[in-house]
Structure 1
Amino acid sequence: MKLTVYSFARSLVNTVLKPIYRIEVIGRENMPADSGVLLCANHIDNLDPPVVGITAPRPVHFMAKEELFSIPVLGKIVPHLNAFPVKRGMSDREALRKGLGILKDGKVLGLFPEGTRSKTGEMGKGLAGAGFFALRSDAHVVPCAIIGPYKAFKKLKVVYGKPIDMVSIKEKKVKCRTDN
């Protein structure tokens, strides 16, 4: 197996973060093993992407704010960590195409539906991106909850929920359109 920057970084981050935050993972088995997955997680800390990345059973491709790609050094590394830029506050067609391509290729697309970190730890209002990908792809939608404080030696839980059945939601949407 070829060692990639992603797998090396995942091993390194796993070695550092798991013991510090006593990470407990629940529901890894809920993630389908061989199809496109839209992984939707809450966003409470800058460490959420690496924590999801080390706890998910499959490599995760993240949409990341484009500002990260212009930070010296980090901007050169981030693309090798399966991240791609998204322009926030507007419809970024290139990012939407890239995300749909990832799902179509049977990979995992990680999103934080609120589009930004919660300052209070409470769930904020979701943006349209997650719905766009869920309705425009055949991907399974898997919810993910990051629970607990990012405090050294306090337990942090990452819970992967059962996939949401989007077929019935898509059928309901089509029915509503044809009823008009």
Structure 2
Amino acid sequence: MTLYGLAKRLFRLQFKLMRWKVQGSENMPNDGPVILVINHLSMWDPVVAACSVTRRVSFMAKEELFTIPVLGKIFSRLGAFPVKRGQGDMNAIRQSLAILKGGGVLGLFPEGTRTKTGKIQKGMPGMVLLMEKSQASVVPVKVGGTPSMFIKGWGKISVVIGKPLTAQMLKAPEGVENRREWIAARIMQAMTELPEAK
């Protein structure tokens, strides 16, 4: 068993004991390239999101995490890769496209950083570039309860997986000044409108 598989099995067991709720699993495509776009509340979001789908997810994460001794190597072995935030990181874009063109699942936090208010923030248009270049489906995911999951999180951790969105479904109308920003806003709106897990 790979390190990814072992870690996922152990965390899934822990989350089940914590009565974690997952809704919308049927919306996750079984094959083909997929971009999971996830809201960002805490450092546990990628773990919870990855455990909520059956397919392996490769996460793009801020490069600072990879400079932490030991942890940086673990992140890499789990399939995560660094991105330089605030600039067009061509290496991260190439790695993302390689994952998607190989039919894999890419995990993104399009807000760019954790929200301080709990409200979903504006999404960066880079996810639209990746969708268009790879023709991947975009699946919005809403995670809840992760900031306090080991304090008062028992029965509070939730994940809602939305229906896939495609480039054909997200065509901007004529006259829109910034097409990718318009599409990114529609993706974030779809995430925001996901219900709370029941």
TM-score (norm. length: structure 1): 0.89
Distance in 2, matches of 1:136 and 1:176, equals 22
**Following superposition of structure 1 onto structure 2, how do residues 18-37 of structure 1 map, counting pairs within 5 Å?**
18-20=16-18, 22-37=19-34
1:126 matched to 2:123? The reply is yes
Count of residues in Structure 1 that have an aligned counterpart in Structure 2 = 172
1:17 matched to 2:18? The reply is no
1:7 matched to 2:5? The reply is yes
Question: Deviations 1:84-118 (Å, cap 9, x if unpaired)?
Answer: 01011111000001101111111100101101111
8 Å CA contact 2:58–2:79 kept in 1: the answer is yes
Task: Report the CA distance between 1:58 and its aligned residue.
Answer: 0.7
Distance in 1, matches of 2:169 and 2:74, equals 40
Distance in 1, matches of 2:22 and 2:67, equals 33
1:159 matched to 2:156? The reply is no
- Who is 1:114 aligned against? 111
Task: Report the CA distance between 1:133 and its aligned residue.
Answer: 1.2
Task: Report the CA distance between 1:148 and its aligned residue.
Answer: 3.4
TM-score (norm. length: structure 2): 0.81
Distance in 2, matches of 1:154 and 1:29, equals 22
Show structure 1 runs of 4+ deviating over 3 A: none
Distance in 2, matches of 1:26 and 1:142, equals 13
* Residue among 100, 104, 108 paired with 1:103: 100
- Who is 1:75 aligned against? 72
Question: Deviations 1:109-151 (Å, cap 9, x if unpaired)?
Answer: 0101101111111011111221121222211111101123533
1:49 matched to 2:46? The reply is yes
SS at 1:136's partner residue? helix
Task: Report the CA distance between 1:176 and its aligned residue.
Answer: 6.6
SS at 2:91's partner residue? helix
- Who is 1:84 aligned against? 81
Distance in 2, matches of 1:25 and 1:17, equals 11
SS at 2:158's partner residue? strand
Distance in 2, matches of 1:69 and 1:116, equals 16
1:135 matched to 2:147? The reply is no
**Following superposition of structure 1 onto structure 2, how do residues 57-72 of structure 1 map, counting pairs within 5 Å?**
57-72=54-69
**2:16 counterpart letter in structure 1:** K
CA RMSD of aligned residues (A): 1.8
Question: Deviations 1:139-177 (Å, cap 9, x if unpaired)?
Answer: 11111011235333132210101101321435x57x779
Question: Deviations 1:7-30 (Å, cap 9, x if unpaired)?
Answer: 01111222223323x211111111
